[in-house]
Structure 1
Amino acid sequence: MSGRRHVRTQSQGRPLQDRTVVVTGAARGLGAALARSLGERGARLALLGLERRRLEEVAAASRAEAATWEVDVTDDVAMADTAREVRSRFGPVSVVVGNAGVAQGGMFADTDPYVWRRVVEVNLVGSAVTARSFLPDLLHTHGYYLQVASLAALGATPLMSAYCASKAGVESFAQSLRAELSPRGVMVGIGYLNWIDTDMVRDADRHAVLRELRAHMPPPARRVSTAARVADRLAAAVVRRETTVYVPAWLRAVQPVRACVPLVVTRYARARLPRLERELRFEATGLLGAGGRADELRDSVGKPGPAVRGDAGLRGG
């Protein structure tokens, strides 16, 4: 009897043992924290992103069996090739976390149309390309797809129109995908997240317009969570194949009243934005954070080269 209890405890300690998990946007921030948290639960990690060196560092720090692929999630052909390589390396994928994302801020009228479009492409189109590329694996394994969304999906704010539109889009996409795949044994979850201490959010705080936007939100909504805490909660959701996960938990309370949020936001904007616009320079930010700069570099020098091949990207754990 004691032996059985010991086996059960070991299984609970590494519930993702021998399962392959894909994480996009894994080079830094929440994606890197997710790699560590999922690796601790026994997962084999396929880490996708734009920054090769950062990806290799994350793979090494994960203390898990991990390989890295430098790939743009909006590139259908490259993502399909990557999915085949992941399958060849690790076997069929059991879990995919659509985490890759970028953001920018500023008045819509002043935003560079390319930058606005790029946010939607990475966050929404990139999520769809990711799901499509690994769908054959998930159907084979009756797997789990977790889409990282945001508080922005529950209630849009001014000065972040592209980000809010993209996160509302990924929420609807994931809900539609869930309805299609549930009868076929594939579960789809949505992660609703608030501010996280990442390069992207820290960069946003350097811009007066976005710093003021967060400062005037209700106290719970302006708080910042650590990436490690959010990653642990999402990793637990992966293990339990949850359909929704809210970090922090109070975000769940927004769901029943989300129809009222646009009215509240509009009233706030009408009262506060004119004064803020007089006091601050509402300049468009461009893509935020080191991840945003990596995406801009991708565009300036061309798309990333081939993914990490052979054993160079493999870390035994």
Structure 2
Amino acid sequence: MGDSPLAERTIVVTGAARGLGAALARELARRGARLALIGHEKTQLEAVATDLPTRALAIEADVTDESALEEAAAQIRRQLGPPSAVVANAGIAQGGPFTATDMASWQRVIDVNLTGSALTAHTFLPDLIQTAGYYLQVASLAAFGAAPMMSAYCASKAGAEAFAHALRAEVAPHGVAVGVAYVNWTDTDMVRDADQHAVLRELRAHMPLPARRMYPADVVAQWLVQAVERRRTAVYAPAWLRVAHVFRAALPPLVLRRSRRLLPRLQAEQTFSPTGSLGAGGRADDTARQER
């Protein structure tokens, strides 16, 4: 992949310790990029960096901590050079009925997925302006196909999508491109953990067939890295989400109709309760906050 436009470029990936972030790092390195990996779990980040075929930095930082991001950016500039692309991938999730949700936990999902993305963009925009670079916001089908029991995650991803659209228009005169990645169910710790909770598993199982399918993280990473190479304004992973996006106004009524039938049956069979942070990445975020 030496002919990739990403070869010898510095690229930042947040949430890179595992899952889709780690898969993105591997795919970007395969195309010759130098990687700056940001996230919790320093040992896990270092393990990912060590396995890459190109130079990589592993930097432990919380994307909601502006000073930590600034320190990370300074280190990246010194050791790898100014980034040509930034992938805002860091994200957490929780599920369960909104009425039973601890609002501090709900707010944390917004803080990481939306505010953390904005802080990431704000920190690295001077570099992207210098390099006429590219910023990719990892969003989700949840940005326009909101589901019950996932209110914080859906709200955060819809907000991240809107943020990216606004940012794109603002930085275009500076030669910076901004893209949004609409990602469906991906085989990560977070999604596998969600499937351990009966109500979330049942909700996914009752989605239309294409929407309930889970995709390998390495495959999704390939789709997203191709978007980085081509500076796409949108990438759909998988491609059929483009059709769903066109008809996004029809999705909330469909979700409402199905939920009215499905949720009462599920509630009669089991008790709905908050899931807490989903996946190893979510639990690492919990631990990091407790230690601060």
- Indicate the TM-score class for this superposition, using the shorter chain for normalisation: over 0.9
Q: Secondary structure at the match of 1:249?
A: coil
**How many Å separate the matches in 2 of 1:149 and 1:184?**
24
**How many Å separate the matches in 1 of 2:11 and 2:287?**
27
Residue equivalent to 2:44? 54
Larger Rg: 1
Residue equivalent to 1:144? 134
Residue equivalent to 1:90? 80
Residue equivalent to 2:116? 126
Shift of 1:11: 4.5
**How many Å separate the matches in 2 of 1:202 and 1:68?**
25
Q: Secondary structure at the match of 2:149?
A: coil
Residue equivalent to 1:23? 13
129-138 or 254-263, which moves further after superposition? 254-263
**How many Å separate the matches in 1 of 2:2 and 2:248?**
39
1:41 aligned partner, one-letter code? R
**How many Å separate the matches in 1 of 2:21 and 2:52?**
11
Residue equivalent to 1:287? 277
Work out whether residues 2 and 32 of structure 2, in 8 Å CA contact, stay in contact via their aligned partners in 1. Answer: no
TM-score, normalised relative to structure 1:
0.91
Q: Secondary structure at the match of 2:145?
A: coil
Alignment of 1:266 onto 2:268: no
Residue equivalent to 1:225? 215
Residue equivalent to 1:251? 241
Alignment of 1:298 onto 2:283: no
**How many Å separate the matches in 2 of 1:249 and 1:220?**
11
Residue equivalent to 1:70? 60
Residue equivalent to 1:176? 166
Residue equivalent to 2:266? 276
TM-score, normalised relative to structure 2:
0.98
**How many Å separate the matches in 2 of 1:195 and 1:124?**
19
2:122 aligned partner, one-letter code? R
Residue equivalent to 2:97? 107
Residue equivalent to 1:311? none
**How many Å separate the matches in 2 of 1:16 and 1:267?**
45
Alignment of 1:196 onto 2:193: no
Q: Secondary structure at the match of 1:64?
A: coil
Residue equivalent to 2:199? 209
**How many Å separate the matches in 2 of 1:255 and 1:93?**
30
Write out per-residue CA displacement over residues 165-197 of structure 1, whole angstroms, 9 at most, x where no aligned residue. Answer: 000000000000000011110000000000000
Write out per-residue CA displacement over residues 17-43 of structure 1, whole angstroms, 9 at most, x where no aligned residue. Answer: 221000000000000000000000010
* Higher RCO (CA-CA < 8 Å; seq separation 6+): 1
Q: Secondary structure at the match of 1:291?
A: helix
What stretches of structure 2 of length at least 5 have no aligned partner? none
1:244 aligned partner, one-letter code? A
**How many Å separate the matches in 2 of 1:15 and 1:60?**
23
**How many Å separate the matches in 1 of 2:40 and 2:253?**
38
Write out per-residue CA displacement over residues 179-237 of structure 1, whole angstroms, 9 at most, x where no aligned residue. Answer: 00111100000000000000000000000011011011001000000000000111111
Residue equivalent to 1:154? 144
**How many Å separate the matches in 2 of 1:156 and 1:299?**
28
**How many Å separate the matches in 1 of 2:51 and 2:126?**
30
Write out per-residue CA displacement over residues 95-126 of structure 1, whole angstroms, 9 at most, x where no aligned residue. Answer: 00000000000000111111101111000000
**How many Å separate the matches in 2 of 1:32 and 1:63?**
13
Shift of 1:15: 2.9
Shift of 1:271: 1.4
| The one of 23, 35, 41 aligned to 1:45 | 35
Identity of aligned residues (%): 60
Work out whether residues 2 and 31 of structure 2, in 8 Å CA contact, stay in contact via their aligned partners in 1. Answer: no
